[in-house]
Amino acid sequence: MSTSHGDLQAQLAALTTEAHRPDLAGIDRRATLDIARVMNAEDAGVPAVVAARLPEIAAAIDAAAERMARGGRLIYLGAGTAGRLGVLDASECPPTFSTGPGEVVGLIAGGPGAFVTAVEGAEDSKELAAEDLRALALTADDVVVGVSASGRTPYAVGAVEHARAVGALTIGLSCNAGSALSGAAEHGIEVVVGPELIAGSTRLKAGTAQKLVLNMISTITMIRLGKTYGNLMVDLRASNEKLRARSRRIVALATGASPADIEQALTATGGEVKPAILTLLGGVDAPTAARLLAESHGHLRAALTAAEAG
């Protein structure tokens, strides 16, 4: 059953993210520097709100890493700003962590075109979310993260409901307390940043909070999956000159080897950073490095231990 205009207005009026700030009613009359200071002060409070939700975030990440270690995918779904943030986070994973095609996916209500042009009504359909997930052949090993500032967006809620019915791990990220999205998800993360500088413009503080949490979900999950060595990106994909230079620097930081030895190791491993480090620190050749990494499921520290023991 569709929601009437009156019902929807009542729902929005009850949301913290939609609240009006009377103290900022005259902001358009202020000096630009003053507005910038107010906005900056508002943004400065977001990390503290995220910090208060770290136990829930960590629990969701540990559960996500367990599913992904079994071969599952990380799938973000949202509408508008929330959807764009999910697509952005997903698109950064291949060059940063060498994730495979489709390993981290961002879906936005209305399809790829909605990333730059709003698709009216797409966010209002739970069935559209279910269709998008069916197209991915969702499994119980997958992780579905519904993202919605309001926590009531039907597309995000429908995604989590469908995913949970399939048996996938579900995470709901919202910016209102007691949201429908949190209620539908196995792991609810509610980052309540309060009313926006511009009433209802949830691309502001709510968007910032969502970006911070999504950074944590993807980055820490990848750390748990062995995509880093310490705080070094050892699984990056060197697809341009900048990244090739970064690859050399990472190998140097990890090993302390000479530039000549680094070049030789990277050449032997086809430019792959992780096996290059293993050849230098473990004293093994490139084929052995590849085998040890495969046996350790890509965890460099475990592969180094095996190399030293062998």
Active site residues: 92, 123
How far is it, in rounded angstroms, from Cα 202 to Cα 237?
33
Phi, psi of 107 (to 5 degrees): -115, 135
| Closest-CA residue to 195 (of 71, 22, 30) | 22
The backbone torsions φ and ψ at residue 224, rounded to the nearest 5 degrees and listed phi first, read: -65, -30
**Tokens 């473990």 found at:** 282
Q: Strand 74-78 and strand 187-190: pairing?
A: unpaired
Amino acid identity, position 219: T
CB environment 94-119: b (16+ within 10 A), e (fewer): bebbbbeeebbbbbbbbeeebbeeeb
With 0-12 CB in 10 A as exposed, 13-18 as middle and 19+ as buried, what is 150? buried
Chain-centroid distance of CA 304 in Å reads 29
Half-sphere exposure (CA, 13 Å, Cβ side) for 63?
19
Contact 281, 304 (CB under 8 A): yes
Helix (H, G, I), strand (E, B) or coil at 70: coil
Residue 223 belongs to what H/E stretch? helix 205-224
Q: How far apart are the first and last CA of the chain?
A: 65
